[in-house]
Structure 1
Amino acid sequence: MDDQNKNLILATALSFVVILVWFLLFPPPEKPAEDPNAPVATTEVTSPVAPATPAATPGQSVTAESASDAPRLAIDTPRLKGSISLQGGRIDQLFLKDYNETIAKDSPTVQVLSPVGSDNAYYALFGWAAGAGIAPEGVPGPNTVWAVESGSTLAPATPVTLVWDNGKGQTFRRIMSIDDNYMFSVEQTVTNAGDASISLAPYGVLVRHGEPKNAKKFFVLHEGTVGMADGELTETTYGDLEDLDYSEREGARADVTQVTETGWIGFTDHYWMSTLIPAKGTAFKSAIKYDERRDIFQAEAVQPTQTVAPGATISAKTQMFSGAKEWEVIRAYEDKGVEKFVDSIDWGWFFFLTKPIFQLLHFLHGFIGNMGWSIIALTVVLKAIVFPLAYKSYSSMAKMKELQPKMEELKKAAGDDRAKVQQAMMELYKKEKVNPASGCLPILIQIPIFFSLYKVIFVTLELRHAPWFGWIQDLSAPDPSSILNLFGLLSTPVPGPDSIFAIVSLGILPILLGISMWLQQKLNPAPTDATQAMIFAWMPWVFMFMLGNFASGLVLYWITNNTITFTQQYLIMRSHGYRPDVFGNIRSSFKKKKT
């Protein structure tokens, strides 16, 4: 590979970086809502707003401590444990039985929802917004104390029913059920025993007090609100929510979308998500809000206003997903009618690559049973797919190596006349039928594949806390070993991941990565330009330090990829008559350093 080819590689890599930075700094504008302040129905209703502090009855303010003392109803399923506060009928305490905060044996289970009064309170509310014929205090609000009509523990086989009578002729019921995974079903009913018709709009609200303290705030990962409105996915970060325009109608910074048939709205974290899903075919107003006075985020699904005649009963159904973003589980819900629910996982710009790459990795894991070996198998499959291009590339590189002496003669004959050198080389390439740019094909292909695999490993839950073998017990985390304590032989403490010295605390995998890149580089001729030669000589070791704190799964992929590439290139070059003396190149490089 000559200077022109090296320059092309550098230009390609720099172009990719420029495009990446451009998209980060200047993302494409989102399509604005057609009418953000349009009402969801013809009758005016009051939009649900979470209270700053809970109240025992409408209008009566109390302290947050009294909310924590309210009666509770237990939630116990094969995968969830928590409780419902009868104050407001809030689903506000939820733990994931299958997931722990860390890989330590005594690590607590992950908590998804938490009640008012706790750090970063996060909970779900359901209710009715008052319309014509009924006062706001006549409907159950966020602080109404409900009674249990049936059931004692919410479980897959035992739904529970809450009831509240407003004393003015209307009785409200809330029937809650749950499946074996993470889907709640909430059916709200209103029975009107009064003398006149009333109008109400059912709603569900997810409330988040403040931005999550454990938010990653990394450009590769989306955290904030996520929603689907008639097939169109929307994602809004917490920072963008804080920058929304203030809406007089909503009483907060808000963005409102009218959903005509199918959709959902909620909050997504790195691995967990809570989402409101109105019944399929039901129009609703999807709203995301930020109340800066109280630092409260909300995701709302307000269904159309219904009229209840005297003696009649009406109902409204909403599902709520709250749990782990497991691909198989979410895909099963999508198959049951939750439109494009798999898109709630943050597949990113290269979704056309990340989705199939993850599905292939998931399939291999189901067959192999170990995520580390599955990543290695995935790398082998990907290399096999692009092998025809690689073969053409390495064949061209072998021919370029054979032409190296002739190229050196051309340079000596032309002297300092660069134009003459370039013209002579182009004639030589044409005569020998060599394309110098073909050597760049594997690199061009590898860039989006690498980025897509990085996205898959960083974002998907299936890699979280997934062990490989030995010291690698979490492929989504950096290699825990360190050269600073001789990889565990010494008891010397090593810098943590947040330390500025973490970059020098290299583990075994990053070191193997640097060596594999260095060996691969020895198959290629060194650039004749001194500056380029120095850059390429340092590149393996720069990457070693740069990727030292990346997820172990990604580093494992890169090592496997380099090893396969080295083997392919070596064998293909030999098949074309060129016998690379890799170890001779290594010995000569050491001799140059000594002299």
Structure 2
Amino acid sequence: MLWDAWQKHNQPKALATANATQSATPTPTQSAPGTSPDKPAMAPAAVSAAERAKAPRLTVDTDMVHAEVSALGGDIVRLELKKHGANNAPDKPFVLFDDGRVHTYLAQSGLIGAGLPNHKTLFSLSQAKVVLKDGEEAVSVRLQAPEHDGVKITKVLTFHRGSYVIDVGYEIDNGGVSALGGHAYYQLTRDNKEAESTAGFFGGAQTYTGPAFYADAEKYTKISFKEIEKKEAKLPKPASDGWVAMVQHYFVSAYAPKAGQREFFTDELGGGLFTAGVIQPLAVIAAGQKATVSVPLYVGPQEQEKLSALAPGLDRVVDYGRLAIIAEPIFWCLSWLHKLVGNWGWAIIALTVLIKLAFFPLSAASYKSMAKMKTIMPRMKRIQEQYKDDRMKMNQEMMELYKKEKVNPMGGCWPMLIQMPVFIALYWVLLGAVEMRQAPWLGWITDLSLKDPFFVLPIIMGVTSLIQMKLSPSSPDPVQQKVMMFMPIFFTVMMAWFPSGLVLYWVVNNMLSIGQQWYITRMFGGDAKPANS
């Protein structure tokens, strides 16, 4: 964790150059993929904040979101999530898309081709406010592009009740005299600022903020802003499936085309802005014909069931790292327990009990070894005193004693070592699962994703760790004894900054361990009689 923080602190700052060079990968600012270089390119990708500020806007209100749509390109320039509170003001909605008040984070799209509208086109707004009324399942925003050579194009944004999916589409009426072709692009533009952390001192530096891509052939790929800046982005190859997303702690936006060939792109726009997107070819539209294209845009929390239902692999944005093979079953079990008890805190406690039961056979064997260690402790001290001037001889005598009494001096460590991957996987689950965000447990714990505001749980954890240590046989080495006495203090200080849900798990685990250790020591007490001197 210290190494991660050091690297982050010392990494070079993003270059705030206004005239960033284009990336080597196909982008909307270059000719469309599959076209020759002499075919027209679209308008420059960068749109200034001043241009956005001048453009008219309309607002959209549904049961899930409040959005602002700009006439400039029909971009979604602000989006508030009504079901999720702001980090420091839970009574106010969380702002995901933003037009520069805190972040610059936009959903843009357009068409590539002569005279076709892109995200620098000024559309006509038919109304100033759209509201999803009672009884309506969806509401649409229609923006009219300027007519060009008889071609009429309407951009349509459709918002759905109870959903974070917005359908971004175009209705194309080719009233011209020749066939119409081209490409459609969908991009997410964001600054390179980290998302505001809510996970305490250790959590914020470890969560990923930046673009992510998925194609079935190459699976989940994260491409950092730094890689884009250095032109080291390794994008998925053109495919007939896949999506592009912009990921931050707990939340995500993603374009997930349903069908058709697509290419992926990233670009640095300058001024700390970056874009990531996907390009798809349009079917040729004959003169006098009409066509529609549409791509779903997800803008909301990283709720795995909703994400996996929208597109294959989209739930991978909830990134558990290398321990995903352990973390995913843990989250599934935790979710199942939550359905039973109705509270994430109690679900964590129930999960701790289940994990403890699963490790009971191993713990029993280890505690039996520890109980035997207690019985040979007097002989170990005598050996230590007898050979205090000959360390090699003392170690030989100790090993002979362990061998004779069939005691493993490291036996008590195995439960801890084997539980560590589970502990780390649970850490990532509690850190990454948006379900924990602002989820209360009991009394003063109003958010399991934050540290305990009064440090009650860390103190209880430290006390229970001390009791557990006292029940274990002490090492004959005075130095090791001092180190072990220091460990509960160290863990108390460290865990004070961890999410309270994780500390709750460790407190319950300690309490169960104390009871388990007392029970097993009594159970094996008869077998571990003092050895003869």
TM-score normalised by the shorter chain: which range applies? 0.7 to 0.9
Hey, what does 1:566 align to over in structure 2? 514
**What SS class does the counterpart of residue 427 from structure 2 fall into?**
helix
Q: TM-score, normalised by structure 1?
A: 0.77
Does structure 2 conserve the Cα–Cα contact (< 8 Å) formed by 1:43 and 1:305?
no
Task: Decide which moves more: 95-104 or 566-575.
Answer: 95-104
AA paired with 2:45?
A: A
Q: 1:20 to 1:570 in 2, by over 3 A?
A: farther
CA distance in 2, matches of 1:123, 1:267: 10
* Structure 1 CA distance for aligned equivalents of residues 76 and 480 of structure 2: 61
Listed one character per residue, the Cα deviations across residues 153-190 of structure 1 (whole Å, up to 9, x for unaligned) are: 37443334333243312121223323321011122233
**Which residue of 264, 273, 277 maps to 2:256?**
277
8 Å Cα contact 1:331/1:341 also seen in 2:
yes
Match of 1:221 among 193, 202, 207: 207
SS at match of 1:258: coil
| Identity across the alignment (%) | 31
Q: Deviations over 1:68-123 (max 9, x none)?
A: xx142x32222112232232111222111111114757x421111123x5442221
**Paired letter, 1:224:** G
Structure 1 position 331, deviation (Å): 3.6
Query: Partners of 1:225 and 1:325 in 2: how far apart?
Result: 15
Q: Deviations over 1:15-50 (max 9, x none)?
A: xx999999999xxxxxxxxx9459732455636753
Correspondence for 1:585: none
Q: Provide closer, same or farther for how the CA distance between residues 396 and 47 of structure 1 changes in structure 2, counting only shifts above 3 A.
A: farther
For residues 219 and 549 of structure 1, do their structure 2 counterparts lie closer, same or farther at Cα, with a shift above 3 Å needed? closer
Aligned with 2:111 (options 111, 128, 134): 128
Matches within 5 A, 1:571-582: 571-577=519-525
In the alignment, residue 262 of structure 2 is paired with which amino acid? F
User: Whole-Å Cα distance in 1 between the matches of residues 42 and 408 of structure 2?
Assistant: 66
CA deviation vs aligned residue, 1:188-230 (integer Å, no higher than 9, x gap): 2333222233431111111124525636784431111122122
- Cα offset, 1:368, TM superposition: 0.8
Unpaired runs of 5+ residues, structure 2, are: 10-23, 529-533
Residue number among 286, 289, 296 corresponding to 2:264 in the alignment: 286
Q: Choose from 36, 41, 44 the match for 2:34.
A: 41
Q: How far apart, CA to CA, are the structure 1 residues paired with 2:234 and 2:346?
A: 45
Shift of 1:521: 0.5
Structure 1 residue runs without a partner (length 5+) = 1-16, 26-34, 55-61, 246-253, 482-506, 581-595
How many pairs were matched up? Answer: 498
Please give the alpha-carbon distance, in whole angstroms, between the structure 2 residues aligned to 1:214 and 1:527: 45
- Secondary structure in 1 matching 2:145: strand
Q: Is the CA contact (8 Å cut-off) linking 1:197 and 1:310 kept in structure 2?
A: yes
Q: Return the match for 1:100 from 64, 81, 85.
A: 85
Within 1, Cα distance between the matches of 2:145 and 2:123?
5
Mapped pair 1:164 → 2:145:
yes
Kept in 1, the 8 Å contact 2:46–2:269? The answer is no
SS at match of 2:410: helix
Q: Which amino acid aligns with 1:243?
A: K
RMSD: 3.1
TM-score by length of 2: 0.85
Larger mean CA deviation between 265-274 and 81-90 belongs to 81-90
**What's the CA shift for 1:532?**
1.6
Give 2:319's aligned residue.
346
Give the 4+ runs in structure 1 shifted more than 6 A. 17-25, 149-152
Match of 1:233 among 220, 227, 236: 220
CA deviation string 1:481-522 (max 9, x = no partner):
2xxxxxxxxxxxxxxxxxxxxxxxxx2222111101100000
- Match in the other structure for 1:143: 120
Per-residue CA deviations over 1:501-550 (Å, capped at 9, x if unaligned) read xxxxxx22221111011000001222222222111111111211121122
Provide the C-alpha distance between the structure 2 equivalents of 1:219 and 1:390, rounded to a whole number of angstroms. 34
| Deviation larger for 417-426 or 527-536 | 417-426
